[in-house]
Structure 1
Amino acid sequence: MPGNLVNFIQVLRSHDVRVSPAETLDAMNVATTLGYGDRDRLRDGLGMALAKTPAEETVFNQCFDSYFTRGLADFSLEQDESDTEENPPATAEAPDDSELQPSASDAAALEAAAENNPELAAVMDSELMRALLANDRNALTIAMTQAGEGSGLQQIQMFTQKGQFTRKMLDAMGEQQLRGAIIELERAGDPALANLQRFRDLLREQVRDFVDREYLLHAEGRNQQFMEDVLSKTRLSNIEHSYLHRVHELIRKMARKLAARHARRRRQYRRGHLDMPRTMRRGVANDGLMFNTYWRQVKREKPQLLAICDVSGSVAAYAKFLLLFLYSLQDVLPKVRSFAFSSHLGEVSDLFAEHPVEKAIEMVNWKYGGATDYGSSLQDFADLALDDITSNTTVIILGDARNNNGDPRMDIMRAIYQRSRQVIWLNPESRRAWQTGDSEMFRYLSACHFSAECNNLKQLERVVDQLLKSTR
């Protein structure tokens, strides 16, 4: 299995392109069939095997162009001679380094100096120096690719590692021998010193450019994954405003993953029990012959989800992301009705039906933000929706249960608990703080089927995942 193609697939995965083991094998067959000589044909073939959506196709094309900037010469080494003749390797693309390019006079000066300098003669006879003297871009690209693989360049993650990998690659390519010759020429005061230094500087510049391209290719996806991991585990109230667009995109990404996992699947349903009385009655007109059969069918009520969010100052940030998460999953979640409260409660479902999610959330915070009164808000909820709660209703409450020493209205909470399928309470505070100060959390726990500390996206994703499983 060609290692370079495997590395390319790893790059795709780091950029959120899903590639299964079976698709990897398909890509290998495509590459074997098409060969590596025609860049456009290879891109089209691999794209058909690996990119499954328009978005993935866009990412694939970007990664392909970046990955194969250095050319396909390194792939040609893995083909047999007959395939190479039919599909000659593409010429490697290299940055413009005309300023560093040594002249023919530099090569001639070095050849003259090598006649009296055995160490310089050994350098001039090395494969690396021959490639530099001949300006053989393919040979240099192959050498850099092999040195990069040997030094683990594909694992680069931070820009501070670029110098480290550049040095490793130069050592692997034999630059140390070239440095030794420079030191000897410097000691001897040989005028060919400047000529050899120009070749050394050219080599270093090309290796640095190679490392820069690999960093942009490999580190971008890993850095994005690292940032997403950090944001998903950071308290939502601690995320700076400048990162909110990333958080919104991360929520949508999580929602897409959960939607794909819990998408409704077609099922084969049994017809149920034969409705014999109805079948026989309809068969009377046919002398009792049961030409038409009728089946008993039980109509199942659709599940519904009621989300009650505390949007007071201390909890507003968490409510915002919960609502954003829920409304990003409308295709797979049951019917969602949303309620917001601080000192009083109101239904905000219409706002989400009429406005984009982000705009609706801003309007909710503006309209219902303020000091918290759980007792009064629960009474408003009872007036609005208590009669609509059935055994197929899931109630999610997001709040810190801090009631400013008011009446918690446990009677309403118990009524919600008895009528609903399940009551889930998400508290952004640490469990250690649930019974401190004016918190009524421990009292509310007696009227909940499930409760959890929920203050970051990872916890929220886990709760919503369990919710989707329970409402299927």
Structure 2
Amino acid sequence: MRFVADFIGALREAGLQVSPAESLDALKAIKLLGLESRETSKTVLALTLVKRQADQVIYEELFDLYFAGVEKAKASNKEAIKTSNKASNKEADKSESESSENALDAKSNSSSSQADMSDGEGMQTSPSSSLGQALGKNKDMSLAITQAAIDEKLSSIVLFTQKNHFAYKIMQRLGDEALSTEIRADANSPEHKSSLEQKNSPEHKRKQRKLIKSRARLLDQVKDYVEQQYGIFAQHKGLKYREEYLQQAKLSQLDRLDYKLMQRLVQRAARKLASQHSRKRLTRKRGQLDVRKTIAANAAFDGALFHTRWKATRIERPKIVAICDVSGSVSRVARFLLLFLYSMQDVMPKVRSFVFASEMIEVTELFKQQGIELALEDIMKRWGGLSTDYGKALAGFQSQALASIDKKTTVIMLGDARNNQGDGRTDIWEKVFRQSKRVLWLNPEQRNSWDSGDSIMSEYSPWCSSVEPCRNLKDIERIFSRLLKYS
């Protein structure tokens, strides 16, 4: 049952949602059916633990990795029992011949005993350490390794750099310290005192070489086991920690290698936020009784108020105009902001998008024609990284879109307000503010950098409903959550 419980823990670490009730169902099923049949176990656990089709691939991968070790441990346990039974039979046969052996000549017996004593000096005929004795008998160590791994909490492994550490801890748990001491023992140590001739005898060297090889094989077996468990427990943990890091990492400093994973995180966060705000577009405010609807609902009860009806406010989907600076480092933040916006089409269907460096370009139709990913690549290739001119860009926005802005429109500007010492045309931004429902300015720089150098953030901020730092995915998620809540 410990194997199954650890396997469920591995599934949770990989991102599968497994409730306590489902865990109990899985344990009961395995207790009833056992683990003898691999296919039966796989099917039963899938039925009790996997709810989504998307999780099936992860489940099958972890099952194959995890239960390969279980089957090996079971096989070695059976082999150990079989070996034990054989040893018992040999002991029984040996006891039958003991009487005849006792009748042997006393002189022969004495000389044999002296020879054994001579051989036993230096390295003992059989190793003195418990691990050495087990290796000397060629015992399968799979069960012992598994138990040592459980004792050392190998399932907590996270980083690949921990593999050697856990291999060392497991070897120590198995008794490697005593075995290593035995192998390295000095000829003059009290425990292993012997003459030079006895130490260099072929028999002594053969036994020492055998013990060294057995230890090396055991170490390889432990390392293989740790590698397997790392694949089970750490692979998805590493991804989880990577995702947690990327959610708080500066978008302006992301490496292109992280774009694919970051894109998945952005879309997941957007879907989650969209589902939260699309479930109930009608918010009922308790405390404001709707008298007309309450009387109508209770007409059948002669005026007795069995059912109350409360006034409701319908939350309208916001009308969004997004303006994104795609110059320099801001372009990376713009990429993920636009991706977030267009991943929320269910709750933000009315989005017009503009990008600029110096020229203001509407890209709404580009997203419709090419899709999010291709459109983003095209935008960054054509306009990303150019020098900035906010004044010229806002003049272009005035001619293209200012007339369409009304009191239902939320304008979102993403930019660092660095204008290369040019005219910022704040007069146009004032018009945008006065005509719209609200204006949000998202700045990818930290607050203490605003108004430094060529930044003119303080000239735009009076004509903004809110000015927010927007440096990572958490910031984007927080800003849009608040936008949807109060739309």
**Shorter-chain TM-score above 0.5:** yes
Which of 445, 448, 454 matches 1:429?
Answer: 445
Which of 173, 189, 195 matches 2:210?
Answer: 195
Equivalences for residues 4-403 of structure 1 within 5 A: 4-72=3-71, 116=120, 120=124, 123=127, 126=130, 129-130=133-134, 133-136=137-140, 140-183=141-184, 188-189=199-200, 190=204, 191-265=206-280, 302-369=317-384, 370-403=386-419
- Give deviations 1:421-462, integer Å, cap 9, x for gaps: 332211112211211233221122222222221223332333
Of the two, which has the highest radius of gyration?
Answer: 2
The aligned amino acid for 2:279 is: R
Q: Is the 8 A contact 2:395 2:428 kept in 1?
A: yes
TM-score, structure 1 as length reference: 0.76
Please, which moves more after superposition, 217-226 or 412-421? 412-421
Q: Is the 8 A contact 2:282 2:314 kept in 1?
A: no
Please, which moves more after superposition, 253-262 or 296-305? 296-305
Unaligned ranges ≥5, structure 2:
79-115, 193-198, 294-310
Q: Tell me what 1:413 maps to.
A: 429
Q: Quick one: distance in 2 between partners of 1:443 and 1:266?
A: 37
The aligned amino acid for 1:360 is: A
Residue 298 of structure 1 deviates from its aligned partner by: 9.6
Please, which moves more after superposition, 146-155 or 413-422? 413-422
Q: Give the 3-state SS of the residue equivalent to 2:453 in structure 1.
A: coil
Q: Is the 8 A contact 2:318 2:484 kept in 1?
A: no
TM-score, structure 2 as length reference: 0.74
Q: Give the 3-state SS of the residue equivalent to 1:252 in structure 2.
A: helix
The aligned amino acid for 1:431 is: R
Please, which moves more after superposition, 11-20 or 316-325? 11-20
Please, which moves more after superposition, 12-21 or 251-260? 251-260
Return closer, same or farther for 1:127/1:445 CA change in 2, 3 Å cut-off.
Answer: same
Residue 168 of structure 1 deviates from its aligned partner by: 1.1
Q: Quick one: distance in 2 between partners of 1:363 and 1:197?
A: 63
Return closer, same or farther for 1:297/1:10 CA change in 2, 3 Å cut-off.
Answer: closer
The aligned amino acid for 2:13 is: S
Residue 274 of structure 1 deviates from its aligned partner by: 6.7
Residue 227 of structure 1 deviates from its aligned partner by: 2.5
Return closer, same or farther for 1:30/1:208 CA change in 2, 3 Å cut-off.
Answer: same
Q: Quick one: distance in 1 between partners of 2:483 and 2:25?
A: 37
Q: Is the 8 A contact 2:324 2:414 kept in 1?
A: yes
RMSD: 3.6
Residue 67 of structure 1 deviates from its aligned partner by: 1.8
Q: Quick one: distance in 2 between partners of 1:51 and 1:383?
A: 55
Residue 257 of structure 1 deviates from its aligned partner by: 3.9
Q: Is the 8 A contact 2:284 2:312 kept in 1?
A: no
Please, which moves more after superposition, 9-18 or 200-209? 9-18
Q: Quick one: distance in 1 between partners of 2:168 and 2:313?
A: 73
Q: Quick one: distance in 2 between partners of 1:358 and 1:44?
A: 38
Q: Identity of paired residues, percent?
A: 36
Return closer, same or farther for 1:130/1:165 CA change in 2, 3 Å cut-off.
Answer: same
The aligned amino acid for 2:46 is: G
Q: Give the 3-state SS of the residue equivalent to 2:169 in structure 1.
A: helix
Q: Is the 8 A contact 1:255 1:325 kept in 2?
A: yes
Q: Give the 3-state SS of the residue equivalent to 2:57 in structure 1.
A: helix
Residue 402 of structure 1 deviates from its aligned partner by: 1.8
The aligned amino acid for 1:310 is: D
Q: Tell me what 2:108 maps to.
A: none
The aligned amino acid for 1:157 is: V
Residue 46 of structure 1 deviates from its aligned partner by: 1.8
Residue 58 of structure 1 deviates from its aligned partner by: 0.6
Equivalences for residues 445-460 of structure 1 within 5 A: 445-460=461-476
Return closer, same or farther for 1:196/1:365 CA change in 2, 3 Å cut-off.
Answer: closer
Q: Quick one: distance in 1 between partners of 2:465 and 2:35?
A: 60
Q: Quick one: distance in 2 between partners of 1:149 and 1:142?
A: 11
Residue 132 of structure 1 deviates from its aligned partner by: 6.7
Return closer, same or farther for 1:366/1:169 CA change in 2, 3 Å cut-off.
Answer: closer
Q: Give the 3-state SS of the residue equivalent to 1:446 in structure 2.
A: helix
- Give deviations 1:104-137, integer Å, cap 9, x for gaps: xxxxxxxx8998369857757948844773543x
Return closer, same or farther for 1:329/1:195 CA change in 2, 3 Å cut-off.
Answer: same
Q: Give the 3-state SS of the residue equivalent to 1:439 in structure 2.
A: coil
Return closer, same or farther for 1:247/1:47 CA change in 2, 3 Å cut-off.
Answer: same
Residue 360 of structure 1 deviates from its aligned partner by: 0.9
Return closer, same or farther for 1:28/1:393 CA change in 2, 3 Å cut-off.
Answer: farther
Please, which moves more after superposition, 153-162 or 253-262? 253-262
Q: Is the 8 A contact 2:284 2:313 kept in 1?
A: no
Return closer, same or farther for 1:298/1:130 CA change in 2, 3 Å cut-off.
Answer: closer
Q: Give the 3-state SS of the residue equivalent to 1:435 in structure 2.
A: coil
Q: How many residues align?
A: 415
Q: Is the 8 A contact 2:283 2:313 kept in 1?
A: no
Please, which moves more after superposition, 418-427 or 127-136? 127-136
The aligned amino acid for 2:234 is: A
Return closer, same or farther for 1:306/1:90 CA change in 2, 3 Å cut-off.
Answer: farther
The aligned amino acid for 1:393 is: T
Q: Is the 8 A contact 2:319 2:408 kept in 1?
A: yes
- Give deviations 1:268-287, integer Å, cap 9, x for gaps: 989x8879xxxxxxxxxxxx
Q: Tell me what 1:105 maps to.
A: none
